[in-house]
A = this chain, B = another copy of it.
Amino acid sequence: MRLLLTGCALFALSLPVLAGPAVTPSSQIETDLLPASLLQISETEAFSRYVILVDKEQRKLSVFERNGEQIQKITEYPADIGKMGGNKTKRDDHKTPEGIYFLQERLSQPKIPFSLYGALAFTTNYPNLFDKRENKTGSGIWLHAIPDSVPLTRGSRGCVVVRNDVIKKLADYIKLGETPILIFDHVNYVSKSEHDKRRQDLSRFVESWRQAWENQDIEKYQTFYDEGFKAPGFNYKSWMSHKKNLKSKYEYIKVHLSQPYIVQHNDQLLVKTLQRYESDKHVDYGVKTIYALKSGDTYKIIREEWAPFSQQEVAAAIARENSMTASSQKTQ
């Protein structure tokens, strides 16, 4: 079930939490709505506890924060987008890309002029791996401000543009390299129970993949991957034969994952987690990102990225989250 949020309801969502007791029954239902695509913000300290969500149709930018296993909207602002409608595909098409991005670098005066970018700008990683797979071109898609005298309705060259006082507030929510910015043509909202259900479904998907991998059940593990799969240095065939080879080499492997980010955009699914990989011969620690595409009732992994990460931070995140899971299981 998908509920379309009206402009009026959006306004209700942007009310401060303090207004709780005064909320009318109808907006109470609406404040229960959550974006269908942002399913889980990881609790892992090394990641960002905030996610920025842009609705191109509504020309709104909102900030979500994790709240235990749930998420909640904490603020919302007007935003300008590219002067051309539709999803960006190529350099200089003046369209705002739609998808799952991360804010990378922070730029301010005198590196960038106030007249074009206001007080602050944050770069994004457009084109992301999904985009590169589709041979999308262009760069320089930023989240930035603009002088207060310029209206927010004239359209940008593809960037997401907000007011100066807003970008300064957003800066407090942004962890460089980590904070996601999700840009959608239209954000679908669902009820909390539906949101819970979708999140749990995808958490189970991730857990099944982890188990198939840990159990070195290659036959099952293969079913999680698309035949067009690529990872740096691998295609589907070489990836699977690599895993078979490791199975013959290692007596056992253990794969521990921290609570992941789970984010969707149309058919795209991104899962980002801290990973501890152990075999009888070695241990390593890193950030694992999975890119998958919807395929019938399930998802197939099309890309996989791994980057080394601090042993201390990965071990701490996994230990902390395991102990939380254990204690919550005890109290049930």
Contact = CB atoms under 8 A, between A and B. Distances in A.
A140 B133 CA distance: 13
Nearest to A241: B113
Contact of A142 (B113, B233, B242): B233
One complex includes copies of this chain to the number of: 2
A132 B140 contact: no
Contact of A132 (B139, B142, B232): B139
18 contacts: A91-B135, A107-B233, A110-B279, A110-B281, A110-B282, A111-B306, A112-B234, A113-B241, A113-B242, A113-B245, A115-B245, A116-B242, A121-B233, A132-B137, A139-B232, A140-B232, A142-B233, A144-B233
Nearest to A113: B242
Interface in A38-68: none
Among A112, A121, A249, max chain B CB count under 10 A is at A112
Contacts of A249: 110
- Residue among A110, A238, A250, A281 with the highest chain B CB neighbour number at 10 A: A110
Contact of A117 (B144, B233, B307): B233
A171 interface: no
A258 interface: no
Contact of A233 (B91, B132, B137, B140): B140
A4 interface: no
Given A140-B232, A232-B140, A233-B140, A238 B282 contact: no
Nearest to A90: B135
Contact of A112 (B116, B123, B233, B282): B233
A135 B137 contact: yes
A246 interface: yes
